[in-house]
Structure 1
Amino acid sequence: METKNSLEHHQPSDSPKPSLDQEPSRRFWDILDLHKWEGFWYSTGHLEGTKDLQAHHESRDDDIVLASSIKTGTTWLKALCFCIMQGQKGADKGKDGEKEEEEDDPLLKNHPTFYVQTIESKNYAKNSTVDLSAMPSPRLFHTHIPYSALPESMKKSNCKIVYITRNANDTLVSMWHFFNTVRTPEQGPYPFDKAFESFCDGVHPYGPFFDHVLEYWEESLKKPEKILFLRYEEMKRDPKEEVKKLASFLGRPFANDEELEKVLWRCSLDRLKNLEVNKNGLTSVGMPRSSFFRLGVVGDWKNNLSNEMQEKLDQMTKMKLENTGLELEK
């Protein structure tokens, strides 16, 4: 995600800006200007990137696109898919080769967002004539944009899409902690009650949350061979089974349990959080690297939501998901 300090990073002077005069606009938590376009809220830079993506992107049949709303397990999914697609270097080294094998791990050198970049904020927002044809296949991308805003070539090609979501309660709390990391000391944390109302109103980057989730859910029911729909809570409860399913969907099934275990260890949130490369500095979009790893647990919302807030969000979840077949456990 971009922040107040990185907006200009996504808006070069020689890049035409979209006409926003007719788009509804709101200020998000005193750090971002959001514009509503085709039912969803985008920051200025991400709206530029989305429109450029629609106009210029050509999918390949072997592309892999990771998709998510914000703060639903994206970084974990990026690490997992990157490791799965890279294969297991040193998988035959055994215990004596563990040190050498660990030194070969790219995740020791760079944040997962370095290897799997968000296409509308890195590849297209800077330059609408970006050329991705030199990327070797299979190309691995990520996007936060809703399914309806994906370029037609992504929808019509045989590229695969992996979508991850989580329950609304934990998504909100994670979002609140995330964006507080870029507020100034003078600003302090954004009032949680205001954050709650903003989330319920759907006014946040790539919101409304439930509309975003349901677009991908409904498409995954129509095209299960194209879209794999993952729930963060299920991945936390049974990581072996879920990651095995993910690898098979990507066309890279594990040869044995040892390969699976190594990917789970390399990409575990505890390990990623404690790697030196993720403790300090900023990502390329101006966010603290450490802000992408906090607790990673299910149920942290209980420490933030009042009973009244919990009831309101539960009612909203029930109403939005009614008759859809989708359940998001807390």
Structure 2
Amino acid sequence: MSNDILPKASYWGIPDSLTQLDGFWLISTAVDPATTFRSNFNARDDDVILASMLKTGTTWLKALAHSILKKGESGDPLTKDNPHNLVPTLEFEALSSANTKFDIYDASGPRLLHTHLPYSILPGSVKNSACKIVYIARNPKDTLISMWHFYNAIVVMGGQEPVSLDEAVDGFCSGVHPFGPFSDHAAEYWLESRRWPEKVLFLKYEEMKSDPKREVSRIAEFMGRPLTKEGEAEELLWRCSLERLKNLEVNSTGHDVGPMPNAAFFRKGQVGDYKNYLTSQMEERIHQTVGLKLEALGIFF
């Protein structure tokens, strides 16, 4: 089907900024890269694909996964590159102003890539090979608040008025938001992680915050790079901590991904920040439209 006749929707006051593909609302500029990826990507068995909904801990996961793969090597790439440059998001690669270190379609060696695409839109070669998928999920209420801050920062930079929290809740609960619906996105990866635990690792942001040593060890083990040295987990967590990353010069200056400054990817990273913004009525609405669907599958936050 031509992209021109796919359903369109406005988001954050921008007409036709979302396009529906196979039941999910993609950022319209991501549709062509996504369909190209689905048709042309040939996965290697030793590739690793990171996956996430927007604003669920993607930057942290990219930093950790890249550092795990590079552990033992000299130097610290995080001091020179934003994590979004070190681990490109395939559907945004055309928007990046930075030069990535490799061609995402070059299968001459193993790749570490990221996507916001739902599992159902991934290439058949990813699903049918032994390549690993690491998915990170987050409480939908905190996800919404992070998205609200992030997208308001974008539109304000463009001279538009910020969107109200009521409008943001409406879009989130209806599923009409980038890569939404949220519940379907998380559900697809959760179900695959139950069917194929050796292939899909499902992480929760809250568990990574409450027991980071355990979770980073799980990630490393899953990626085939177990942490065997004393203090290795602690060193990785320090290297990739929000406090350290946000204060590195590379992340306090520059624009690596689209219009947003690198600093925009490091806000609070807190669990439960939604309580400072959502009314009880908003919380209940999100629970009824998103939370109950997840709980029915056994996904609790």
- For 2:19 and 2:105, the matched residues in 1 are separated by 31
Q: What SS class does the counterpart of residue 66 from structure 1 fall into?
A: strand
* Correspondence 1:250-329 to 2 at 5 A: 250-328=223-301
- For 2:105 and 2:116, the matched residues in 1 are separated by 22
Q: Of 106, 115, 118, which aligns to 1:143?
A: 115
* Correspondence 1:212-227 to 2 at 5 A: 212-227=185-200
2:11 corresponding residue in structure 1 = 28
Q: Structure 2 vs 1, CA of residues 325 and 262 (structure 1 numbering), >3 Å: closer, same or farther? A: same
Quick check: 2:252–2:262 contact (8 Å CA) kept in 1?
Answer: yes
Q: What SS class does the counterpart of residue 176 from structure 2 fall into?
A: coil
1:239 corresponding residue in structure 2 = 212
Quick check: 2:41–2:105 contact (8 Å CA) kept in 1?
Answer: no
Does residue 157 in structure 1 map to residue 140 in structure 2? no
Q: Which runs of 5+ in 1 are unaligned?
A: 1-17, 91-103
Number of residue-to-residue matches in the alignment: 295
Q: What amino acid maps onto 1:88 in structure 2?
A: G
Q: What SS class does the counterpart of residue 155 from structure 2 fall into?
A: coil
Deviates more, 1:292-301 or 1:38-47: 38-47
- For 2:267 and 2:255, the matched residues in 1 are separated by 15
Quick check: 2:56–2:205 contact (8 Å CA) kept in 1?
Answer: yes
- For 1:221 and 1:181, the matched residues in 2 are separated by 37
Quick check: 2:95–2:257 contact (8 Å CA) kept in 1?
Answer: no
Does residue 45 in structure 1 map to residue 29 in structure 2? yes
Quick check: 1:88–1:259 contact (8 Å CA) kept in 2?
Answer: no
Q: Of 149, 157, 166, which aligns to 1:177?
A: 149
Q: What amino acid maps onto 2:196 in structure 1?
A: K
1:191 corresponding residue in structure 2 = 164
Identity percentage of aligned residues: 49
Q: Structure 2 vs 1, CA of residues 136 and 273 (structure 1 numbering), >3 Å: closer, same or farther? A: farther
Quick check: 1:68–1:143 contact (8 Å CA) kept in 2?
Answer: yes
Once the two structures are TM-superposed, the CA of residue 302 in structure 1 deviates from its matched residue by 0.7
Does residue 204 in structure 1 map to residue 182 in structure 2? no
Once the two structures are TM-superposed, the CA of residue 324 in structure 1 deviates from its matched residue by 1.0
- For 1:207 and 1:135, the matched residues in 2 are separated by 30
Q: What SS class does the counterpart of residue 313 from structure 1 fall into?
A: helix
Once the two structures are TM-superposed, the CA of residue 281 in structure 1 deviates from its matched residue by 2.0
Q: Structure 2 vs 1, CA of residues 289 and 319 (structure 1 numbering), >3 Å: closer, same or farther? A: same
Question: TM-score, normalising length from structure 2?
Answer: 0.93
Question: TM-score, normalising length from structure 1?
Answer: 0.85
Quick check: 1:228–1:249 contact (8 Å CA) kept in 2?
Answer: yes
Q: What amino acid maps onto 2:298 in structure 1?
A: G
Q: What amino acid maps onto 2:150 in structure 1?
A: F
Supply the RMSD in Å over aligned alpha carbons. Answer: 2.1
Q: Of 140, 145, 151, which aligns to 1:168?
A: 140
1:68 corresponding residue in structure 2 = 52
Q: Which runs of 5+ in 2 are unaligned?
A: 97-101
Q: Deviations over 1:164-197 (max 9, x none)?
A: 0101000000001111121136423211110110
Does residue 84 in structure 1 map to residue 68 in structure 2? yes
Q: What SS class does the counterpart of residue 283 from structure 1 fall into?
A: coil
Q: What amino acid maps onto 1:79 in structure 2?
A: A
Q: Structure 2 vs 1, CA of residues 260 and 322 (structure 1 numbering), >3 Å: closer, same or farther? A: closer
Once the two structures are TM-superposed, the CA of residue 133 in structure 1 deviates from its matched residue by 5.4
